[in-house]
Amino acid sequence: MAKNETGLPEVYLQPGQSHLVRHPAILRTLLGSCVGIAFRAPRVGAGALCHPMLPNSPAGLSRDAGSRYVDFAIRDLARQFDALDARRSEVEVKLFGGGDVLAIACDASRPTVGRLNCEVALRVLKEEGFSVTASSLGGNCGVNILFNTETGEVLLKRHCID
């Protein structure tokens, strides 16, 4: 675990990973069509970030395999926060990414992976009893996010391909 200029440990999440911490840290990732979902429960001193790549998981996946899917990753982190006695209503949730960053011709009548990821994330978060306090979704740029689990602040830098 590296440390950055804030002195906090820093964890970089690859696509398909989730990470929960019980100490102040910087959780960071780079998103395109994937979504990044930041969770923070100040009362229990926990923060988490997930970087799922695809909207809906097939049944029977392990935790490692399931964290690649939006629905699975959200429900898995919800259970982890439940185990810490965090009430869903007190968990701050911020949602990012879901962009259409691939320069390919697409059928406008079919939703893109980025759009599907956003739709599933919003639906499952609502079903699980979470409220989204901030979001930056869609568009045609990738985003680099740095999530400070101590303050809840998320720094976002857009990366657009011209």
Residue 142 per-residue DSSP state: E
| pTM over the 0.85 mark | yes
Encoded tokens for 82? 């439940």
Element of type H or E holding 19:
strand 18-21
150 CB burial (10 A radius; 0-12, 13-18, 19+): middle
Give the containing element (helix H, strand E) for 123. Answer: helix 113-127
The domain limits of the chain are 2-156
Residue-wise pLDDT tens digits, 33-73: 999 999 999 999 999 999 999 999 999 999 889 999 999 99
- Asked: is 2-156 a CATH 3.30.1330.200 domain? The reply is yes
Q: Which tens digits make up the pLDDT trace of 94-132?
A: 999 999 876 555 556 678 999 999 999 999 999 999 999
